[in-house]
Structure 1
């Protein structure tokens, strides 16, 4: 067992013994545990505390019932299950006896209530364990005092405390006494070999509600007296409202009012430039009605006049601009090792390729929606959001309110993928509610989602490598992107540190089309480009494709370069296992394989795609995925995340594309935006590396490698290299050569 010093202040660890029926409430700041020791604050009047003021804590009733509150937004990544599992493990209670509830936003006790970057478990790991261990130690101490023995003589199993004499007490028997004890300075944490909950499959805690349709999601939320809002937004990026006629709309059944919003949003955008996802500086027309259907119908009846306030851009223009950027000199260097110009001049051979990717929408199943109720006393916000604290802060600024006036509750999220990092929809409904002074629910239509989105930016990468005496001596990666100041490439991932002369440059075109994080930001397209390039480089060098990667990894010395974020040893291990488990090089002649290894979101991944020829065309049949994400809290949840990421990567690299004409998306619903279909989904075989490293990200790391794996497999099957996504846009490149068709 390991011992850690909590350095907890009373503000970080709160107990309340005045719960109805008696019991103990523990609220713990997940991240203060990692901060330097703080001076203890004056004793808190425990009887005055209301547990609803805290969001991530343990509640133990005197009947032994245990409730654990999960602090972070649940967006389908499983944290509402896995975070409480970590607490329950150290608390030493039976998982089947734990009830889990979603916490609310609490800016005093938490510093990262965010669902983004695959970081929830990684950041919460140590503090969540300490939460459970500290509560357990207090309960044991209370039982030991009752028995008149030393706590070291006691043991715990599934919420039952035992002493050396064989006496037992349940947590409920001592919870009231435990609530009066001092918070322990040091807590003992379990060794992984003693885990009973962590590492075991646990179904999603919401699964019964999900499959029976009980209210969980933002769209489900309603309350007495609530009205519904729909918003008429600019039809294209760069357009601005001139006038509107709502005569017909106001006469429609259920319509309560029609008005404009925008002034407060514009003021907020000027004050907080980061809110670039609020589509334009234009006013917007709002319909208030008795139902969503009535609001949406009335919205379509409003006659609106718009003007082009700034250039309405098209995909063809973006394509030319990015090409010109790649050929120009307006680059910002992100990393430069050695002298690439000298190395290229001395190279025996040079390979240079350009890779292109389109804009992509997030395509969440649940459209954007949020609830707001603004009164003089409080602003209540309820709905699906990945960034509750930031959103609440923006609302407070916009309305000129004290942040303490903002009460935000998180619902389960029906798909986020980065779109719900941007709380524009919550900010909009807060302005609407402030105007009507009624509880309001704002709902986007699917067309609203697609037309007024925050998209993955369009990017072009140009990669150039030099080879001298059979070794890679130079590597130059150039990125040209629409709004790359939002999310650009990563300069310190592989092959950084592996090539002596290495440079990464970026150039950006600023567009009024809103862009931002899209699942696996930075890497979702870069992984395909780089890993496809490495395959072609190995072919040029006439060396084994996997051995080339291993040879480069052998040169990486993280201990000598603190910028390097990946572990070459852990990367080599996922490569070794992927080769073994995929049957690399040992498949029948009709199976063509493509390999990729990649690191992102603190996790090492290797993937192998199996492609076969069906009716003369290359088809993805299987992906073997090997993941090193450290300790796996919930293997069942991990499997879901891994498979979902792989299939998302396959689908978007094959079919995903959003184009613009005169500032307007050409696809506004699923009839024109192509997603992976069930019959097209390949088998995914998953293997997890077993070790005792602290957990790392899992919601995103398996998506980026998928595109590269299938591109490399397609090349093996057809002889054609793919340089542009989506791959299915050039179906002729997926065709097998004539001998395969004949055979």
Structure 2
């Protein structure tokens, strides 16, 4: 859908504007189209401290604008890019904008979530509408003062200009504007008139980040706060039998040691003391549920894949008949391991449980759900639970789950003191939540040199892709097409991991299509373009991707990378994918060094509609590509008797600086409304590398991590 310019407003979409006692204008707004129209500002707003608000923008009488950013910031840049949308339509200089992180506000918002690469996509028009409405109110105030038609007034960089050349700054107009009615219709800027959108804007928190000022959850502290470090079961499937903490209690600085639902919490005056005391606890554990291992997981998944206990997510035509009549069938199995999230900032959260209220502070992607979970856990009214969000040192899906916040609340409720739970790196890697291990079986039937059928089977631990990806490519491109899923439940906790499912499925399918092209004797690019051509003009509303936009990124990636005409000694692999509403194509350049394939460069072409902040967008793309390559090449997480084998980075291989290739990013220019970038660049990366390695070595890869299949020992360091 292309972005529109003429916006018809319901006055209920905006909260009544008010003049502030200290000067200036406060405007409340509904961030997303699904926001509650009945949202109201606090009573007697003029008497409240401005810092109490989180769902509003303030235009001060000196012309400075403060924008409260309500969505969680996990490094994806929304704390910068979302306010940019407001500032653009407000027509204010970015130098005059201040951004403040908002807290959870369930009265005015329905989606304060960081997940699924949806924040910019869903906020595109509502946020611009907010800025445009404020600008129109300022224009109306100036026109009223000058006794002229508002249509004859314009704005530029925080100044209203009249038809006779007169000017008034926004700060001079806010008191007048604050008492005017909210306009029912505003006009949004055309893309060619943007002065902020499309420009490189530095992250609003960059100064605090580089100077080490308090910003993240681990930085948060309050007077009287205790630090809690928790001993959890060393293996999945165990429960606490008994423990001896006598030595731990003698450590200076330890305040208390308590039993917390199959866990032991050490509370101390600082983190180091709590960690030291925890190491002295002698705990005995006993088996509670089945103790699992990676060998067991492999067998159960393979049994599922070869069994009949599947749920069909989509079935077009007659796959069974197509395969029965085929001249040839290509069938391949692709396998991936569990993966930890490994956020740079380990899990942590602050809780202060009092009789009247529950205060939660920390890094969380789902503040509303966390508040509800804590309220249920403590048997409290959710209205009594507040959540303040800090910046997050990475999320990648791990911080969708508020288990660590619940743990902090539970401990605070027991000791009746403010508590911050802090995970060590070992805690972070061994306590879950993980990307589930998955196996895919992909089959294609070939008749008279053409693809007549396609069958994708998924076997997963704990969760399936229900409704998520059956309608991605090649859905709609092959007449007989079927997607089946099966799962088995494990006591190893799993959940979303950056670009859920697609992070591995893209490797499987895009590798399969390269091999399929080889079997058909067709060019791999031509095969993809040919299949996409068949989707054009479809009336199937289930299809989520655009064949035209996917073709565009494919052609552009070929052109920008010189794909098919590499330099001597360079082997190129191709991949294209659609997920999270964004179309991406990537080409990986691989060279052989000491008989080992090394990724030197990745060319990435992205169609995400209008690029709000190119600097932030490139950061997201580069990070996604490197993350995708790193985990496909090296990421491996195994269990022995329910215990994770790797507990820290000295044995678990995250991609190192010397292993990172150059990433060259190109955007498709258009005026479509923007889509997300936090996840879409990651899924195609693994397949592009795998397809390049096939050309370089002659070996096709079917399992991640690739170093295991290549039998290469990649040194850590």
TM-score range, shorter chain: over 0.9
After superposition, residues 263-302 of structure 1 pair within 5 angstroms as 283-302=262-281
Q: 2: distance between equivalents of 1:470 and 1:731?
A: 32
Which consecutive unaligned segments of at least 5 residues does structure 1 have?
263-282, 736-743
Provide the rounded CA distance (Å) in 1 between the counterparts of 2:103 and 2:167: 36
RMSD: 1.8
1:489 Cα deviation (Å)? 5.9
How many residues matched? 711
Q: 2:471 aligns with which of 492, 510, 524?
A: 492
| In 2: Cα distance, 1:43 partner to 1:253 partner | 47
Equivalent in the alignment of 2:10:
7
Query: Shift of residue 16 of structure 1?
Result: 3.0
1:369 paired to 2:348: yes
Rounded Cα–Cα distance in structure 2 between residues aligned with 1:373 and 1:526? 42
CA change 1:306–1:98 in 2 (3 A) is same
Distance in 1 (alpha carbons) for counterparts of 2:59 and 2:78: 21
Task: Work out the CA distance in 1 between the residues paired with 2:31 and 2:360.
Answer: 23
Distance in structure 2 (CA, Å) of the matches to 1:40 and 1:368: 33
Q: CA deviation at 1:215?
A: 0.6
Matches of 1:355 and 1:639, distance apart in 2: 30
Residue 258 (1) aligns with residue 257 (2) = yes
1:396 CA displacement: 1.2
Query: Which residue matches 2:146?
Result: 147
CA distance in 2, matches of 1:144, 1:403: 46
Q: Evaluate the alpha carbon distance shift between residue 734 and residue 248 of structure 1 in structure 2; reply closer, same or farther with a 3 A threshold.
A: closer
Match of 1:98 in 2: 97
- Cα deviation, 1:149-195, whole Å, max 9, x if unaligned, reads 12111110011011011111111101111111111111111111100
Shift of 1:393: 1.0
Provide the rounded CA distance (Å) in 2 between the counterparts of 1:381 and 1:732: 47
Q: Deviations over 1:187-221 (max 9, x none)?
A: 11111110000000001011111111111100001
Structure 1 counterpart SS, 2:571: strand
SS of match in other structure, 1:9: helix
Secondary structure in 1 matching 2:498: coil
- Whether the 8 Å contact between 2:35 and 2:110 is mirrored in structure 1 is no
> Following the alignment from structure 1 to structure 2, what is the Cα–Cα distance between the partners of residues 677 and 43?
50
What are the within-5 Å matches in structure 2 for residues 427-442 of structure 1?
Answer: 427-442=406-421
Instruction: Tell me by how many angstroms 1:44 deviates.
Output: 6.2
Shift of 1:588: 2.3
1:55–1:71 CA contact under 8 A, matched in 2: yes
Q: Is the 8 A contact 2:40 2:108 kept in 1?
A: no
Matched with 1:280 is none
Q: Distance in 2 between matches of 1:29 and 1:452?
A: 38
CA–CA distance in structure 1, aligned partners of residues 570 and 458 of structure 2: 34
Instruction: Name the CA distance, whole Å, in 2 between partners of 1:734 and 1:31.
Output: 49
Partner residue, 2:206: 207
Correspondence for 2:598: 619
Give 1:521's match in structure 2, choosing from 495, 500, 503.
Answer: 500
Measured after TM superposition, the shift of residue 52 of structure 1 is 4.5
Question: CA distance change for structure 1 residues 148 and 139 in 2, over 3 Å: closer, same or farther?
Answer: same
Q: Are the counterparts in 1 of residues 19 and 26 from structure 2 also a CA contact under 8 Å? A: yes
SS of 1:301's partner is coil
Distance 1:388 1:486, change over 3 A: farther
> What's the counterpart of residue 233 of structure 1?
232
Cα distance in 1, alignment partners of residues 659 and 486 from structure 2: 36
Three-state SS of the structure 1 residue aligned to 2:360 is strand
| Alpha-carbon distance change, 43 to 427 in structure 1, aligned in 2, over 3 angstroms | closer
Displacement after TM superposition at 1:42 (Å): 12
Query: Partners in 2 of 1:46 and 1:648 — Cα distance?
Result: 46
Alignment CA distance shift 1:217-1:372 (3 Å): same
Give how far 1:614 is off. Answer: 1.3
1:91 is displaced (CA, Å) by 0.5
Counterpart CA distance in 2 for 1:248 and 1:367 is 27
User: 1:505-520 counterparts in 2 under 5 A?
Assistant: 505-520=484-499
Quick one: which of 462, 481, 496 aligns to 1:502?
Answer: 481
Q: Closer, same or farther in 2 for the Cα pair 1:602/1:408, shift >3 Å?
A: same
Trace 1:524-673 onto structure 2 (pairs within 5 A).
524-557=503-536, 559-673=538-652
**1:268 maps to what in 2?**
none
Task: For 1:159 and 1:69, locate their aligned partners in 2 and report how far apart those are by CA, in whole Å.
Answer: 19
Q: Which residue of 2 aligns with 1:731?
A: 710
Output aligned runs, 1:387-402, within 5 Å: 387-402=366-381
Q: CA deviation at 1:732?
A: 4.2
Residues 515-558 of structure 1: per-residue CA shift (max 9 Å, x gap): 00000012000000000000000000001000000010011146
Given that 1:15 and 1:46 are in contact with CA atoms closer than 8 Å, whether structure 2 keeps it comes out as: no
Question: 1:146 deviation in Å?
Answer: 1.2
CA deviation string 1:299-341 (max 9, x = no partner): 1111111111001100000001111111110000010001011
Query: CA 1:245 to 1:33, structure 2 compared with 1: closer, same or farther past 3 Å?
Result: closer
Q: Show the 5 A alignment for 1:14-53.
A: 14-19=16-21, 21-32=22-33, 45-47=44-46, 51-53=50-52
The yes-or-no answer on 1:348 pairing with 2:348 is no
Task: For 1:106 and 1:513, locate their aligned partners in 2 and report how far apart those are by CA, in whole Å.
Answer: 33
C-alpha distance in structure 2 between counterparts of 1:131 and 1:199, whole Å: 19
Q: Is the 8 A contact 2:590 2:693 kept in 1?
A: yes
